[in-house]
Amino acid sequence: MNNYITTYTGVHVVPYDLKPEDIRIEDIAHALSMLCRGNGHVKTFWSVGEHCILAAKEAMLRGYGRRLALACLLHDASECYLSDVPSPFKAKLDGYRETENGILSMVYEKFLGSDLTAEEFLLLDGIDKDLLYYDLSVLLGEKMDREEPQMKVKIEYTQRPFQEVETEYLELFEKLK
């Protein structure tokens, strides 16, 4: 049995020993367009890629600039290599968060030129949590214990073919880089 995964573009990647040269935007766009939010426990398929596209658009509409919008587009890129692990389980996996954060730092350094600052991380995290509010309430029917966030981006939970999401992800990446 091999100790690597083969990515969409054919790269053999050891997720816990990822190298910058292993990271390809085509792999990220493809994998995230195929991964379902909420570990698949949603009323309709909603991809991680779609979520990232909305996060990037929201950052632009909030006036956060291209760098932060690109960071929002890339903020779940580690899931291309590690999959979408539910947060409660993620907290129990020794070393998982460190691996995930290491991959994200590498992605940011490769595509942004540096890791996020603390301020950038807080802005990104705010958008991510605001979108999660809608994912949980719309896709799962969860009652939320916080005030409904006001989003600038229009959120439509319309299922699209993964190829459309992948193409839009790559086009947005080109626009923002």
Query: What are the Cα distances from residue 150, in Å, to 56, 119, 120, 131, 147?
Result: 16, 20, 20, 10, 9
What's the pLDDT at 1? Answer: 66
Q: What pLDDT is attached to residue 38?
A: 86
Q: What is the pLDDT of residues 62-113, one digit of tens each?
A: 999 999 999 999 999 999 999 877 788 888 888 888 999 999 999 999 999 9
Enclosing H/E stretch for 109 = helix 96-112
Split into its structural domains, the chain has a count of 1
**How far, CA to CA in Å, does 159 sit from each of 31, 32, 36, 108, 166?**
16, 14, 11, 29, 13
Asked if 157 and 13 touch (Cβ cutoff 8 Å), the reply is no
Task: Give the whole-angstrom CA distance, residue 55 versus residue 129.
Answer: 10
Helix 48-61 to helix 66-74 angle (10° resolution) is 170
Q: What are phi and psi of 12, to 5 degrees?
A: -90, 115
Check residue 88 and give its pLDDT.
84
pLDDT of res. 96:
87
pLDDT tens-digit map of 11-66: 999 988 999 999 999 999 999 999 999 888 889 999 999 999 999 999 999 999 99
CATH code of 139's domain: 1.10.3210.10
Q: Using CB atoms within 10 A of its CB, is residue 147 exposed (0-12), middle (13-18) or buried (19+)?
A: exposed
- At residue 28, the pLDDT reads 98
* Longest alpha-carbon distance in the chain: 49
Which tens digits make up the pLDDT trace of 126-155? Answer: 999 999 999 999 998 899 899 999 999 999
Tell me the two tokens of residue 42.
């949603």
Angle between helices 48-61 and 118-134 (to 10 degrees): 120
Q: At what angle do helices 118-134 and 66-74 cross, to 10 degrees?
A: 60
pTM for the model stands at: 0.95
For residue 82, the enclosing domain spans 5-176
In this predicted structure, what is the pLDDT of residue 91? 84
